[in-house]
Amino acid sequence: MDYFFLGDPELATAFRFVGIDGASVPGPGEALALFKRITQNWDAVAGAVLPGETFESCRVLILTEEVADWLGETLTDWQLSGRYPLIVEIPGTLGRMPGRKTLVDSIREAVGIHV
């Protein structure tokens, strides 16, 4: 399992159709608990959400923007640590959240060039 998804049920199902395991998280508490299970000691055998699956090989964790908001500082601290799994945020089923930058916007801001 190189990839794992956390988000709403519809997207979790869609990711399963393309071969990426995932879990739907209904609220901030569940999202934080599952995120900690995935990231803490990720290189050791961790608990599994799906029978027979472990998170030891999760290299990329895909989150919806809503889940990323729920995780807040915990997510920021993880991203700054530079450890695996890498985090990728995607819009949810309702589209991009207001005030969120796209990847292209972030790159343009960092480089300082607008084409």
Is the pTM value of this prediction over 0.75? no
Q: Which residues contact 62 (CB under 8 A, 6 or more apart)?
A: 3, 4, 5, 6, 7, 15, 20, 22, 88, 90
Q: pLDDT for 14-50, tens place per residue? A: 999 999 999 999 999 999 999 998 887 554 434 444 4
Domains of the chain: 3-111 (3.40.50.10580)
